[in-house]
Structure 1
Amino acid sequence: MIQSPRLPGIFSVGLKLWLILLMVQLSNMLFGMTITIANVVLPQIKGTMSVSQDEASWSITLNLVAAAVATPLTGWLAGRLGWRFLMFGTVLGFTLCSLLCGLAPNLESLIIFRVGQGIFGAPIMPLGQAIILSTFPRHLQPTAIVLWGVGAVFGPVIGPVIGSMMAEAYNWRAAFFVLVPVGIGTLFCTWFALADYDRSERDRFDWLGFITLSAAIIALQLIFDRGHRLDWYDSNIIVGLTFIGCISFWIFIIHCCFANQPFINLRIFLDRNFSLGTVISFVMGTLAFTGLVLFPSLLHDLRGYPDSIIGLLVGSRGLGNWLAFLVIIPLTRLAPRLSVASGLLIQAFASYMMARFDLNVTNFDIVWTNMLLGFGQSIAFTPMAILAFATLPKLRVTEGTTIFTLMRNFGSSIFISLSVLVLLRSTSENYSNMSENISMFYESNVLPVLPVQWQLGQNLGLLQLSLEIEKQASMIGYINSFHLMAIVAILATPLAVLMRPVPK
């Protein structure tokens, strides 16, 4: 019986590859920390700057929009600057913007510096993924991608814990300052890990394609962010943004079809695995950060939890991510499509169970549902990334990872805005519906056994009841947002089955 030769394992690679792996792990951790740190201190930002829920969420959504817009620049910048200088520059700019976020005097300046974080942080994940796929042998890529994902998971895990503790001990600004030493350590590792040999001949940049795509993305994001406040299409601003977005996207598609060297080569979508993987990446983006935005406000505003407890509860999702690492590699090798489908279904189930929460939800329920959500995300993401690039030519890898990350960030930003919209709209409608049945003139609502502060004949009683109705209406809004997460995950599950198997 003839046996195939045994391929060398991950521990047989040289020191250079291990240093590269450490570098991309640190950079991923830095990028992941800033997202979850900002989420967990969102209630403090609301209170300190006296802004509403949707206004405070701009610091999250516009950061992701900036990352989505700047992500397509990664391939061109990598060709012009090389891996070393591009990664070093992005980490340096990202670290400086983190410092400035902590020094921001108002919401406007905080949003500007958060946008800077998004722009400088945009190349981190696609460039790191491209470096892994280009430097590691194909048979080691699943293992390398899993180890690369350790940083992406570790950052969001420790981000809420460290950020909430720093915010409770000092204030929300300290949560951004803690990113600075991590960024400095990443700079040193980046300089010594990467050699400057990765420049290409592609010097021409398609500015028309970049501008039109950016305009379309920004217009769509602003429509979701400002639509509720401006009463949608009763506002000329929303009508104008819709017109700009549609025209910009139409010009972008036509230009990319006929340009000699387009900003994004649309022929890359002829690869079935990559196209399906990109759609699933968009869905994974919608599920990745929405809960991280909703839970801190839910626990702070409706349950009165301190920041440190909120950080621990939200960070429990990372435990599910870590547990998934025990099975990701064998699942990716044996049944990657089944792993992707199972991960999406697990996320759908976890979201559905979150939609069954009420104001009496226990800490245990919050922890196990978040752990299950994190477990599903991890066992779906790695095999999905492997399948998406399995049939893609090596020359298209950097461009592919750029589009891949763009769709993930864009999915996150759009769905966060959509979830906040559902929350606000549901809260308003349910408050109106429930308050219609409350009146001091309804004899059925006047109970003599109630304490004075709850009697409807007293102003204090009406105020207390109004606050309770507002809490119940807000909880219904959160439940509707969790239902939306479950529906999106279920709809994306069949796409995993349509992907081609990984070639041996």
Structure 2
Amino acid sequence: MTAVPQAAEAAPLNRGMITLSIMLATLIQTLDSTIANVALPHMQGALSASQDEITWVLTSYIVAAAIATPLTGWLADQMGVKRLLGVAIAGFTVASALCGLSETLGEIVASRLAQGLFGASLVPLSQSILLDINPREKQGQAMAVWGMGVMVGPVLGPTLGGWLTDSYNWRWVFFINVPIGAFALFGVSTFLPAREPLKQIRFDLFGFATLALAIGALQALLDRGEQLDWFNSLEIRIEALVTVISFAFFIVHTATSGPDTFFRYQLLKDRNFATGTFFIFVIGAVLYATRALLPPMLQNLMGYPVATTGLVTAPSGAGTMIAMLIAGRLLRRIDARVLLLFGFLVSAYALWQMMQYTIVLSPSDIVWPGVVQGFGLGFVFVPLSALTFSTLTPQLRADGTATYSLMRNIGSSIGISIVQTFVTRGTQIAHSDLAANVTVFNPAIQPMLADGSRYDMALLNQQITQQAQMIAYLNDFKMMFVATLVVIPLLMLIRPSGGGSADAGHAAMD
């Protein structure tokens, strides 16, 4: 589907204002995936919620967004891109205000659900519109601008959320969206040309229901698995069973029900799109897993305050922005696959630097590997977005961008769950191995045992626990380093951009 080709022939596009408006909408959506994290303790007291209950402020948003994202393509066909985007921005902005006004846990969870449902289409629609309003030679730069909102938002979220919470109160974590959303809505309503909706397409209720159930159960499993000790919990086993059965029904239904199924299986016939979607899944896992590891490591293991943690992790976003601007320009002159290779190698080097961490780190030891990793991911994200959609027809673009965003989000959820589980279990294993050396036969331990001081033994156990946690974190960084290197050979599956089935669609816009 293409958002604006008919309107583009009638009047010149104000690409600058359209881009600014949709990127503001994208920014508030991606910020909200992480901005509330640091405010949870303050919300917990204000809303009289338990530790388990307050986490639903995060999970309700994530699950709702994951379920609603696949609807983007179908809704855009029925309502038109401009109308759907306007409804999404307005709904997200109102839901943000309701979050800030909430007085009970039930109210804020319901408001966060609404935020997730309305915000789900913002990221895929913004990508689709930017691809539609820009000619092929400018799409690299367009994807660089889009990538800034998508990649930098989650990185800056905790820093901005911490500042707003400390300077004002937790409600401003949500109120900040209101003026930005209002401006974005005004820009979209004023400058984005309207397009008549496509012919009415039958809604595949069974396909959507099975996919939504599978995604919702998977998200619930990933969010609560570590807390409930994974498959030792009946709830987790039920959620895993629901995920597998629902997804199996969805696959069989899609494969046997003809062309009018909910999922456009034509997307998988495009090699670039299929490979690019797998890559964005891996990037989501590696990027967000790293962001999930560093704050608890710095705060719990090394005693960094929340504000300092935000300051030393935020510069990675600067590295991403710089790389995206450079990559967007280089994409015109250099094979995008070469830029991808460079980006993956730089990202792997940053993870190798993180593998050298010790229990004593200066702020610069945290900042520079983060900047390097952000720089590498910027060089991956821009050419990957351009290549993934370079051979995709405009009619499939809205469905493709929705699937692309969904896979990035699922990758991040799986990555975060895996690394957190490995940290917990790795700490237990390393602690057991280190504690095995605390015996009466160890000369270094004998004076302590002879003295019989419980304080000394408690202090020793604390140091062993810290070292065990550090070992677990380093093993996680090593795992992500290996995963980054392993996917590099798959670059050979991607065809270079230029030509292909998208040319006709772009010719209409040029």
Normalised to the residue count of structure 1, the TM-score between the two structures is 0.86
AA matched with 1:95: T
Moved more, 276-285 or 430-439: 430-439
Aligned equivalents of 2:292, 2:45: Cα separation in 1: 16
Cα distance change of structure 1 residues 242 and 37 upon mapping to structure 2, 3 Å threshold? closer
Post-superposition offset of 1:400? 1.0
Match of 1:238 among 232, 236, 239: 236
**What is the aligned partner in structure 2 of residue 130 from structure 1?**
128
Alpha-carbon deviation of 1:183?
2.3
Specify the alignment match of 1:208 in structure 2: 206
Deviates more, 1:358-367 or 1:183-192: 183-192
Alpha carbons of 1:108 and 1:445: their partners in 2 closer, same or farther (altered >3 Å)? farther
Q: Any idea what SS the aligned residue of 2:331 has?
A: helix
Equivalent in the alignment of 1:256: 254
Match of 2:481 among 463, 477, 486: 486
* Counterparts of residues 417-496 of structure 1 (less than 5 Å): 417-438=417-438, 444-447=444-447, 457-496=452-491
Give the 5 Å matches for 1:199-348. 199-260=197-258, 261-333=260-332, 334-348=334-348
Helix, strand or coil at the partner of 2:80: helix
User: How far off is 1:230 after superposition?
Assistant: 4.2
Per mean C-alpha deviation after superposition, the further-off stretch among 140-149 and 404-413 is 140-149
* SS of match in other structure, 1:358: coil
Give the aligned partner of residue 184 of structure 1: 182
| 2:360 aligned with 1:365 | no
TM-score relative to the length of structure 2: 0.85
Pair 60,357 (structure 1): closer, same or farther in 2 beyond 3 Å = farther
Where do residues 146-185 of structure 1 align in structure 2 (5 Å cutoff)? Answer: 146-153=144-151, 155-156=153-154, 158-185=156-183
Letter in 2 for 1:122: A
Bigger Cα displacement from structure 2, 368-377 vs 143-152: 143-152
Comparing 141-150 and 455-464, the one that deviates more: 455-464
Unmatched segments (≥5 aa) in structure 2? 1-10, 500-510
- Which SS does the other structure have where 1:346 is aligned? helix
- What is the CA distance between 1:397 and its match in structure 2? 0.9
- Give yes or no for contact 1:341–1:494 (8 Å, CA) kept in 2: no
Instruction: Return the offset for 1:316.
Output: 0.7
Q: CA 1:124–1:456 in structure 2 vs 1: closer, same or farther (change >3 Å)?
A: farther
Q: Distance in 2 between matches of 1:64 and 1:273?
A: 28
Contact kept? 1:209, 1:263, Cα under 8 Å = yes
Q: Any conservation in 1 of the 2:93–2:177 contact (CA below 8 Å)?
A: yes
Distance in 1 (CA, whole Å) between partners of 2:450 and 2:197 is: 74
Residue 354 of structure 1 corresponds to 354
> 1:315: Cα distance to partner?
0.8
Taking a change above 3 Å as real, the CA distance of residues 343 and 110 of structure 1, as seen in their structure-2 partners, is farther
Describe the superposition over 1:425-448 as per-residue Cα deviations: whole angstroms up to 9, x where unpaired: 222332333344447997742547
- Deviation at residue 456 of structure 1 after TM alignment: 7.1
Tell me the matched-pair count: 486
Letter in 1 for 2:386: I
- CA 1:157/1:201 → structure 2, altered by over 3 Å: closer, same or farther? same
| Other-structure match for 2:502 | none
CA displacement, residues 372-428 of structure 1 (integer Å, 9 cap, x when unaligned): 111111111111111111111111111111111111111111111111111222223
Find the counterpart in structure 1 of residue 503 from structure 2.
none
Distance of 1:139 and 1:343 partners within structure 2: 21
- State the partner residue of 1:387: 387
- Alpha carbons of structure 1 residues 390 and 457: separation in structure 2 relative to 1, 3 Å: same
CA contact (8 A) 2:144 2:325 kept: no
The separation in 2 between residues aligned to 1:47 and 1:435, in whole angstroms, is 38
The more displaced of 429-438 and 311-320 is 429-438
Amino acid at match of 2:335: A
Q: Which moved more, 1:39-48 or 1:275-284?
A: 39-48
Amino acid at match of 1:146: A
In the other structure, the counterpart of 2:69 is: 71
The letter for the 2-side match of 1:389 is F
- Deviation by residue 1:41-93 (Cα, 9 ceiling, x = unmatched): 567778998977x9877655654343222111101111222223322222233
Are the counterparts in 1 of residues 298 and 309 from structure 2 also a CA contact under 8 Å? Answer: yes
Quote the Cα distance in structure 1 between the aligned partners of 2:457 and 2:299: 23
Alpha-carbon RMSD: 3.1
Give the AA of the match of 2:370: N
Question: Per-residue deviation at 1:352?
Answer: 2.3
- Superposed CA deviations along residues 436-478 of structure 1, whole A, max 9, x for unmatched, are 4447997742547xxxxx9973333333333333322222232
Question: CA separation in 2, counterparts of 1:473 and 1:425?
Answer: 10
Structure 1 CA distance for aligned equivalents of residues 102 and 74 of structure 2: 32
Aligned-partner Cα distance in 2 for 1:124–1:68: 12
Letter aligned with residue 33 of structure 1: L
